[in-house]
Amino acid sequence: MAHVLNWFEIPVTDFPRAQRFYEAVLGFKIEPFVMGPMTMGMLGTDHESVGGAIVQGEGGQPAQTGTLVYLNGGDDLAPMLARAVAAGGTVVVPKTEIGNNFGYFAHFIDTEGNKVGLHSMA
């Protein structure tokens, strides 16, 4: 087993707004597609890594409590965190060193009300 995590979904209430936000934060185009009663936008589909999506549909409720997803902040999460703020997000934990050579993390609230984490080694 390469990863303990296989897939994640970030619930959204306004898909176009969330799409614009995550495109700005992640720096790539997110194509929406309908899958049954849900609208999804893939955040990662590489079969060698963990995949995920933003998802609008019944049963999905944005939240700031519960499971916390950490997105890959690349070489340095600071630029991605700045893009989150510029796109309408709010920083709740600034870039913080974890210690013991585990890198850095930060938390932000997205435009939908989800708390999301970032991680990078620098």
Q: What is the CATH topology of the domain spanning 7-120?
A: 2,3-Dihydroxybiphenyl 1,2-Dioxygenase; domain 1 (3.10.180)
Give the pLDDT band of residue 62 (cuts 50, 70, 90). Answer: very high
The Cα 50–Cα 10 span in angstroms is 14
Give the pLDDT band of residue 68 (cuts 50, 70, 90). Answer: very high
* CA angle (90 as vertex; 84, 95 as ends), nearest 5: 70
DSSP classification of residue 108: E
Residue 109 pairs in a beta bridge with: 90, 115
Task: Round the average pLDDT of the chain to a whole number and report it.
Answer: 93
Of all residues in the chain, what percent carry a pLDDT higher than 90?
Answer: 85
Question: Which has more pLDDT, 4 or 108?
Answer: 108
Query: According to the model, what pLDDT value does residue 34 have?
Result: 95
Residue 1: pLDDT over 60: no
Range 2-26 average pLDDT: 92
Question: Which has more pLDDT, 45 or 37?
Answer: 37
Query: According to the model, what pLDDT value does residue 2 have?
Result: 62
